[in-house]
């Protein structure tokens, strides 16, 4: 009887050091500040593989008049283009705000193994607040999820934005 060859692929993702999480969350925060200046809800995202940013995005729903133009969606598209594949294996997505159901679903579909977010979103968060899409055992892929990295900084830019919007009578 012949032995079956091992054709397994190692899809594990070794977690970066905590200082790397903070460093890449700061890069996402820089993008959130760009969104703030563009009068967009200040959310930024970066996708990293092997200590290199492959994709960047910040909210652009108003600018592009596109309900799907969330920071995560833009970063996912950019990273997929950079690697030449829709599967974003061995990547970590850093985002300043807990992803919504649309973005959480896209993260799962892109096979991102690790998600790190800054502040929770009690009104629309789908990564632990309202739903737990990335870790739902019924789905064919699960995403290691870490919340609270630079939570206060991420929350502060959102508070400042919505405070400014209320003063301007916009929201």
Q: Using the 8-state DSSP alphabet, how is residue 16 labeled?
A: P
Give the phi and the psi of residue 94 in degrees, each rounded to 5: -110, 130
Residue 68: count of CB within 10 angstroms of its CB: 13
Question: CB of 22 within 8 A of CB of 147?
Answer: no
Q: Which helix (DSSP H) or strand (DSSP E) does residue 120 occupy?
A: none
Token match 């959480």: residue?
A: 104
Annotated catalytic residues are 72
In the sheet with 44-49, reading across from the earlier edge strand, the strands are: 52-58, 44-49, 92-97, 114-119, 144-147
- Non-local (6+) Cβ contacts of 144 within 8 A are 13, 15, 113, 114, 115
């Amino acid at each position: 009887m012949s032995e079956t060859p091992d054709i397994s692929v190692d899809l594990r993702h070794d977690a970066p050091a905590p200082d790397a999480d903070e460093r890449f969350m700061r890069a996402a925060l820089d993008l959130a500040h760009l969104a703030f200046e563009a009068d967009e809800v200040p959310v930024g995202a970066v996708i990293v593989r092997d200590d290199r940013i492959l994709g960047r995005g910040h909210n652009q729903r108003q600018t592009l008049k596109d309900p799907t133009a969330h920071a995560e969606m833009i970063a996912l598209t950019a990273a997929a283009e950079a690697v030449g594949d829709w599967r974003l294996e061995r990547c970590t997505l850093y985002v300043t705000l807990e992803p919504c159901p649309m973005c959480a679903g896209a993260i799962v579909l892109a096979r991102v193994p690790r998600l790190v977010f800054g502040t929770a979103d009690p009104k629309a968060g789908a990564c632990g607040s309202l739903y737990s899409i990335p870790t739902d055992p019924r789905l064919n892929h699960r995403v290691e999820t870490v919340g609270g990295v630079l939570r206060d900084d991420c929350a502060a830019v959102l508070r400042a934005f919505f405070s400014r919007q209320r003063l301007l009578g916009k929201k």
